[in-house]
Amino acid sequence: MTKLSVNINKIATLRNARGGNIPNVLNAAINCEQYGADGITVHPRPDGRHIRYSDVFDIRPVIKTEFNIEGYPSNSFIDLVIAVKPDQVTLVPDAHDAITSNAGWDTLKNKSFLSDVVAEFKSHGIRTSLFVDTEIINIENAYYTGTDRIELYTEPYAVGFPKDAAGTIVPFIKAAEAARSAGLGVNAGHDLNLENLAYLRKNIPWLEEVSIGHALISDAIYLGLENTIQMYKRQLAD
């Protein structure tokens, strides 16, 4: 069964909009775990507009499920990850002021840089994943960085799904097959929701993990957090 990692950045965004500690990000992480999430994902950014570095340190010792930290591998991010030692680090090529991740790595152009960063994290026993698009060349070169997994950037799939699910899924299947052939694990994330998740899982049944935040937290406003997590998990069931 594909694991569901819940990205709790939007909980922190709501907290930061008002100041104080409501909603409580640490409690949200604990609750997501209790409600069935297989992992917790956070994506701290340099401006601290949602998850803060302090949140990352607070969350690590209290959750028992997998902890995944996403981010651009700046010096401060690398230091954070090494200090916290999450189960997985997902490297994204975001600019410092990006609203959200909107592109995958050019793994050929950045091969040397990524190889050094991946080696550093792996020396500390941290599994690594690279955020990539469906270009096969980027999948193939991801392998040569030494990464353990890739995470497929699924916004194009989510955008195309309502009009042409069968056509839109094709490059993602090919990319996932290329990754599997190279011995890489396959994660996926970005704009996945209750409408498109099951179809993705059905066509790429060897998906290791999906990371979902915006849609899941938005659904939870109407459906409740525990119910929503269970609904998403059912989309991933065999």
Residue 148 CA neighbour count, 13 Å, CB half: 16
Residue 71, Ramachandran bin (φ over 0: left; ψ between -120 and 50: alpha; else beta):
left
Active site residue 124: no
Q: Are 197 and 211 in contact (CB under 8 A)?
A: no
Active site residue 70: yes
Options 43, 66, 151, 209, the catalytic residue: 43
Options 33, 66, 151, 190, the catalytic residue: 190
CA nearest to 232, candidates 207, 183, 184, 198:
198
Options 33, 66, 70, 209, the catalytic residue: 70
Query: Pseudo-torsion of CA 71, 237, 63, 117, nearest 10°?
Result: -30
Active site residue 190: yes
Tell me, rounded to whole angstroms, the distance of Cα 187 from its chain centroid. 8
Alpha helices in 182-224 (DSSP H): 197-203, 214-223
- Catalytic positions are 43, 70, 190
